[in-house]
Homo-oligomer: A and B are copies of this chain.
């Protein structure tokens, strides 16, 4: 009963097999391995973007920070949600890499076009004194488990384009969002107006690989230099390629994300049946639910692992409602979910 994070589960067995497969003979280092060509071709095909620049790094923070640094200048701001991972969970890495300031668009998990427009319009009205407008960063799945619809994405990108600003998507849970929407990679990115994507694999069954995709290849060389200067270029790069290659082969990325989302549906339905309420509508693989302290205590006692959300387990009022975050990855079994749910009754 481990719902703490989609970082906590095992790597998908097909990925380990792919690593073993790749572990033959000699390969050029630093991204010149043959497997990387396959990966690049696959991503270009899946995204219907034959001219895209494609790179691999090992952490989501690296993908976001390097992508944003490439899209921005140190005297600019990056527009994002106040709960964006790049703001709350990356210890100033985006600022370190880009030099830019993050402008928090007022609102919740999702930015609205109106709030984004107002934030952008409010900047660059002071000439050289204020920072200048830079990229917009959209988190899809959001950090609250919700998913922007294609219409919502298009509307945000349209606002960015009004001001001629590039758009970045933090897709640490890209595939969970995509299968939730039932759309194509292209529809969720460049067709909606996204210029660069952090295309996550780690949270969806890989060991540690994220692709960074630029639909405009003119930024490719700068990204390569930034990646090396950031110490994120792997010498034995073939093992990153092998993971991403396995991910995109035989629909592993899709089946893993569908499984994770389905696990989440099963869990959410059970929680709802048990009387829990939801802080956000669970649309992908994360649930923010609220139920009585007594139930949390029972779950903890039985070994369930997950994070309380702005709440403390200790306390006397067993009826008090405590919020929590529950995350499902591809590896959670129905049995684990059902065991968890059984403890709520």
Contacts and interface: CB of A to CB of B under 8 A. Distances in A.
Interface string A227-246: 11111111110010000000
Number of copies: 4
A185 interface: no
B16 A75 contact: no
Interface string A216-256: 00000010111111111111100100000000000000000
A24 interface: yes
Contacts of A225: 73, 75, 91, 128, 132
A96 interface: yes
Contact of A96 (B4, B27, B126, B229): B229
Interface of A: 2, 4-5, 7-11, 13, 16, 19-20, 23-30, 57-62, 65-66, 73-75, 88-93, 95-97, 99-102, 104, 126, 128-132, 202-203, 207-208, 222, 224-236, 239, 305
A239 B230 CA distance: 21
A104 B106 CA distance: 12
B102 A101 contact: yes
Given A23-B11, A59-B235, A95 B90 contact: no
A2 B25 CA distance: 9
5 contacts: A59-B233, A75-B228, A92-B99, A101-B102, A128-B227
Nearest to A95: B101
Nearest to A235: B7
A13 B16 CA distance: 12
B229 A92 contact: yes
Contact of A58 (B24, B58, B66): B58
A89 B74 CA distance: 15
Contacts of A305: 26
Contacts of A234: 58-59, 208
Nearest to A58: B58
A11 B23 CA distance: 6
